[in-house]
């Protein structure tokens, strides 16, 4: 293992350790404040002093990690960590298929299968988004005078499982499409050899680097979903509820003011 890789491993360990310690400090502050609030409901529990007491032991580790990062940049320790280019199976498939004059039946089947997998993956993802949309658009789930922890807990319980399932469907469909593209590429390569042997004219296409069409579709879908959620939140009074909860967090939990 080279010095650069050892440096990156140490940096990774430090980052993970800092995240764990900060999360532990935040949870400790919350649990301590909640227990104290139950016995002293009128006391100011989340103060800057308590936060400083929890974070102070972690500051040397943060400074050490920051110093290592700066020294690594100045010494260019990661200069020799050259990553090989990532192979794009879709671009490779498109280039190979474009050189085929008459696609074989196997290539046609794989192309049709990829479309079905893509439609199925996005269809399942859309179905998983319906329960999330229905929950987020119901004003009863976000009362203005409700306990913030309970509201967030219920939101996570109803949203996260469906989101995980939906993203999982997209990941599975992507993997299946990649495997089908590899099979189609192999068949296209064999077909090119057959056509060369038969004397069929082969067309060589211009190089293609990115699939702009798929990227634009992805952007449009998420833009529409974002706009739909924003509109739903405005109509169910979520904007005022979020503002009031944000004010409470800043003035109580963080200890500002």
Each residue of 141-165: pLDDT tens digit? 877 666 777 878 888 888 899 999 9
Contact criterion met (CB below 8 Å) for 103 and 200 = no
Q: What pLDDT, on a 0 to 100 scale, did the predictor assign at position 46?
A: 66
Between CA 182 and CA 135 the distance in angstroms is 40
Percent over 70 (pLDDT), the chain: 78
Q: What pLDDT, on a 0 to 100 scale, did the predictor assign at position 206?
A: 47
Each residue of 3-21: pLDDT tens digit? 777 878 888 898 999 999 9
Each residue of 29-42: pLDDT tens digit? 877 777 766 676 66
Contact criterion met (CB below 8 Å) for 36 and 43 = yes
pLDDT level of residue 211 (50, 70, 90 thresholds): low
Whether the model pTM is above 0.85: no
Between CA 110 and CA 119 the distance in angstroms is 14
């Amino acid at each position: 293992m080279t010095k650069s890789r050892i440096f990156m491993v140490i940096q990774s360990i430090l980052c993970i350790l800092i995240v764990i310690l900060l999360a532990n400090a935040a949870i400790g502050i919350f649990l301590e404040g909640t227990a104290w609030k139950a016995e002293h409901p009128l006391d100011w529990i989340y103060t800057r002093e308590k936060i400083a007491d929890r974070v102070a032991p972690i500051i040397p580790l943060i400074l050490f990690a920051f110093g290592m990062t700066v020294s690594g940049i100045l010494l260019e320790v990661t200069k020799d960590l050259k990553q090989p280019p990532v192979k794009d199976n879709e671009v490779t498939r498109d280039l190979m298929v474009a050189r085929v004059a008459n696609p074989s039946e196997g290539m046609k089947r794989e192309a049709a299968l990829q479309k079905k997998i893509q439609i199925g993956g996005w269809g399942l993802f859309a179905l998983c988004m319906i329960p999330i949309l229905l929950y987020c658009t119901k004003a009863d789930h976000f009362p203005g005078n409700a306990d913030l922890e309970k509201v967030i807990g219920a939101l996570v319980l109803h949203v996260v499982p469906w989101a995980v399932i939906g993203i999982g469907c997209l990941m599975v469909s992507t993997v299946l499409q990649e495997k089908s593209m590899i099979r189609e590429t192999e068949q296209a390569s064999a077909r090119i050899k057959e056509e060369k042997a038969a004397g069929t004219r082969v067309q060589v296409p211009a190089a293609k680097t990115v699939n702009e069409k798929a990227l634009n579709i992805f952007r449009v879908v998420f833009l529409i979903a974002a706009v739909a959620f924003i509109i739903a939140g405005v109509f169910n009074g979520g904007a005022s509820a979020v503002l009031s909860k944000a004010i409470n967090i800043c003035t109580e939990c963080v200890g500002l003011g």
